[in-house]
Every structure is written in structure tokens, then in C-alpha cells.
Structure 1
Amino acid sequence: MTSETSDRPVLAVDIGTNTVNTLLAAPGETPVRQTYYTRLGEGLDADGSLSEQAMGRALSVLGEVAGLAEQAGVASVGATATSACRDASNGGSFLARVGEVLGTVPRVVSGDEEARLSFMGAVTGGIETFGPAGADSLVASLEGPVLVVDIGGGSTELALGHLAGGTATFTASASLQVGSVRFTERYLHSDPPRPEELSDCLSVAEATLDEVLSVQPSFGSATTLVVVAGTAETIGAVELGRWDDRELHGLAMSKAQVEDVFRTLATEPADDRRHNPGLPPERVDYIVAGCCILVTIMRRMGFAECLVSIGSVRDAVWDEMVGPANAGTVDKSSSPVAGSSSEAT
């Protein structure tokens, strides 16, 4: 950013399988986060392409976002696209249409790059402001090896790093083809899900995780588990009984609490599930599959608790746009080296 634009807001946009997530802020100001539910990846796992209806929903939302950006007088817009656009046969043509609406063509990030961005956003993002060692960022309060898990609609990213003295070093990543939308459409066909459907979902999640851990045993060195994005925030909100970003950020949930939320939601039909305080209606259909993925990770890797961070990919995209003077406290010189990244199907 130039000196002429450094005091103007910057908009980060993350286009995911289930949601479009935005973050608007000028350097040093309180960020404004918005989540829009588009179900862009609906039917993708079966058809291999984005449906016209799903693309229409996303383009409508992005048109609204573009209007808000214009009203705010943003200096720049940075956009990323993740699992759905990576996988779809028509992802490129969809993003060209997005470019016409948003004014910039989103960058399709690989699974490993998505993991890196999730790590950066998770440890530096906060409620109030950005900047080195923000008081409410996890990098300011945690020490040691940290595993960040981003459970999305189409994929789940794992990112390992080390936090010390208010700085963070990213070391390894993996992307798993397991996600809340993908697994719901593939395995959870009954309402409520039958035990055998849940068993299939859990078994495939565990097998996929085991494959990654066999290639990347270093993930097992993490002593802290940080979870980000919609599934994690929703589980936290259901546990709290309300959705409040200030309470969710840094929330510690024991394995028993996560298992209890899973058990409750998995045994309720959707019409009952939607009445749980804290559960957004747009996540009623997909949250059980997301729970399957998180409990699998906690069971298999032996984590007794997890911490929720509201920081995510959009925080990292914003951070990288504003440049070193206003960036967070991640050591960006660290990147995956040979053998330190993997993608599992």
C-alpha cells in the first residue's frame, strides 16, 4: 500500500465451499467481519462442477460485497478462493464472472497455501485491532508447538507452527479432502443420521487423518490445538448457548464438551437441531459432519481440549495486503520445505 492509501480501509474476501467471508478494516482499526452463506459447493462432490444456482447465490452476495466496498472507499480488495473452486471443473469460468462483479479475480489457493493462511490468521487475528502481538491475538498468549485446524465445507486444513515470545513460525501443512458439506452429501442422508452413517463418516475421517499422520508425524508434536472457521465457531457457540465473537475468540473447549455437542446435534432431527441456541440456521444441515471431523482429530491425536480463534484465512489475506508495517507477527520467511506439506484424498 502507498502512503496515499495506507489510511483507507482494505477488504479481504475468502470464497469458500459454504460461505463467503469478508474482513474490512483500515490499519489499526477494529476489523468488521461478515459471513454470507452461499452453499457454493452444493452438489459439487457428486457432479464435479458448480451449479448455476449455487454460482448465482455467490455472485449475488459478491455484488453486495462490492457495493459495500465502494461505499467504504476501500484502497484495495484481495480475494481468495478455496476448495470448491479448486475442485470444480468450471471453477475458472466462475471466478472470471466473480472478477467482473468484484473488480478483482480471486486467487485460487492450494490446500497447503490455505493451511498456511489459516495458521497466520488464527494466531494473529483478534477482535479489536491488528498489528504485532495484539493483546487479544493468540500469538500474544500461547507458547510452544501449535496445530491449527480449519474445518471447511469441502476440505480440512492442518497447519503446524511454533509460538514463542509473541512471534510465530509456520512449519508444516496438509490438506484433507474431508469437509462438512462434502461429508454430509456423501454419508449423512438420514434425518437424524443413522448410526451406520455416522460410523462411515467417522471412519473415513480417521483413515484420511491417519494417512496424513503417516506422512507428517510432526503434527503429533503439537501441544495446543487451535480450531478456526465456521464449524469450530458453531460448536463453540452451541456450547456457550449464544454466538458472540468476543466470547468465542480464545474459548477453550474440553474434549468432553465437544463430544457432548456432537452427541446432542447428531441425535436430533434437523427441525429440533435448529432450536439449539447459538446454532445458525444456515449450518443446521452441515454441522453434524463438521462435528465428526473435529471429534476424530481430537480422539485420534489425543487432544484434551481445543481453543477457538475467530481469525482465519481472511485475516491473513488482509494482513498480507497491508504490508510489513502493519502486518501481524507471523514469520513469513517460513514456508513448506520438501516433505513438509501434503494433500490427502
Structure 2
Amino acid sequence: MKKQLVRHTRDYFQRIYNQVPDAIFLSPGRINIIGEHVDYNDGFVLPAAINKYVCFALRKTNNDTISFHAKDINESYSLSIHDNLAPVETMWVNYLLGVLDELKRRNKKVSGFQMAFSSTVPMGSGLSSSAAVECGLAFALNTLFDLGLSRQEIALIGQQAEHRFAGVKCGIMDQFASVFGKKNKVIKLDCTTLDYSYYDAHLGDYSLLLLDSCVKHTHLTSGYNDRRNEVEVGLKMIQSQFPEVHTFRHCSLEMIENLKTELGDIIYKRCLFVVKEIARVGQAIAALQAKDYPLLGQTMTETHWGLSKEYEVSCPEIDFLVETMVQHEGVLGSRMMGGGFGGCSI
């Protein structure tokens, strides 16, 4: 599958530009075993890169023009390296323009280039196709133009591109997992300090299976930013009563319960989920290290119903998949994965 993707992308580049690309790059999508919607709440997450990729073919040119071709949808976009960059109506272009804008902000200079890309990461499925696009282009340009960026800087460039040009105030998990992922490893990432460590992803006789709900989400229309605003309001209210709370990881369930009336029903439920989910990540890592796979599965299922009932980012189709799957013998747990409102269950 990977070789076929590379071959098709290279062939498409040659057909579009009548030239051979200088280089080919692969950028992986990601899954997240547990730790949903806590990457922007100073929590911990447990993602892993997967064997679904965005493939980039690039070639330097001797002019000032940058050209993008999206093979899968047969669309193209061109600009000059001297253009003032701003978001456009075509969303896939914004992920790329956002990366170029971040490079400009860091005084990293690129000249004209041609690029074509194709993907096996399904769009809108919760596998972080946007992060794979952003980080893949940043990584490719860093290599092609010798920009001297670290892997962490590439991940942060991808995140800021999504903030400024796609309008989604995402956390750092998706970009970090795409850049730092290793084969057969999961990453425990501290989303505050960006400290990270790897754990073996071998699950004995068990496997991770993704089920596509066939409901395609877009974070912009899904309420993703609304949830982020709600928890920011909630944290400020908690801090006004408990000054020792700097982030949600310093917050206890008792604090949330004591402020239930003041928070109001919606903010209360959002904050309750975040505090519980941060604790569940620690439980899941302990279960993984102890090879206690039933406990890992149970923790995942608890996360799902928290996402569905407290954070309210699931949908009937995903709830159906989870509820149906956990009734099958041999299935240890299931949950919604990704930003929500569609996509996959795991």
C-alpha cells in the first residue's frame, strides 16, 4: 500500500509537471488510544502514528512560483513567494498556506517549488489528515531548503497553521504524533511541557480496530471551538475559587462538585469530563505496562461515554458502534476517536 501510494504520487507529479520530483516524503496519520480533548487542557495523551500516509512529491524551481496539486480531488493552487498570505475559501489549501505563513513568521526562506500530494488517510475520519498534511509539508520544506527546524518546531508549525489558517484551535497531539511517531510504539505526551516517552504497543492476542461511522466531521462546523471556549471559561471559574489550580491537572473531582451550581450544567459537565479523562490516561498507561488489557478496554469505554454524555461530542452512529461492539465476546472496549461529531470508533 505504501509503495503504491509513492508510485502513484510520483507518476502524478511527472504527468502534471513533466519533471521528475527531487524528493518524496511520507507523513503518517494517527490514532489515539486514550486522552481525548485534553491536549488543549494541559493533560496527557496516548497517540500513535499509523500506516496511513499523506505522500508528497516536491521539486525546486528557478522561479518565484509555488504550485500545489491535490491528486485525490484533482485540484490545484498556485501563488508567488512574494504574496501576502491569508486564508482562502478552499480549505485544503489553507493547511498548506498556513505552513508557508509560519515559515515566514520564523524568517525561514523558501524559493519556488512544485508539489503534488496524495493520501491514504481518510478525510474527516478522526485520523488527523490535516496534521499529516501540515507537518508533512513543513518536514519536506525543512529538508528541501535546509531550514534547520527541529521536529518539535515542525509540530508547532503545523498546530499554528491550523489555528491561523484553518480556524481550529486544536491542541498539539495530532501534529506531535505525526512527527514523533515510531513503529509499534505509543507516545505518552505531556501536552503542557511536551515531554514524551514511548511505550510498546504490542497488545498480545488483541488488536486495535477502527470502524468508520461514515459520518464525516469538520471541526469548524462541529462545535470543537465551542468546547474549547467552554472549558476555558470553566477553568477560570474554578481558579477564582481555588487559586492553587493552575491547570486542569491540578483540579480534583471534589472541586468540580463543590462548584456544580456556580458552573451551571453545561460547563460542569465539560470540566467533569476533562478531570476524569486526565486521570484515565494514567490508568490506561498502567494497564498497558501491566498487560492488563481488559482494564485498558474498560477505560476506553468509560472515555467514550464521557465524550458522549459529558463532553457531548459523539453522534448516534458512533454511540451505536460502541454499544454494539462491546457486546461482542472478545471485544474489551471501544470508544469514539478524534474530535468527534463523526469519524471512527476504535
Shorter-chain TM-score tier: under 0.3
Give the TM-score normalised by structure 2: 0.26
Larger radius of gyration: 2
Give the TM-score normalised by structure 1: 0.26
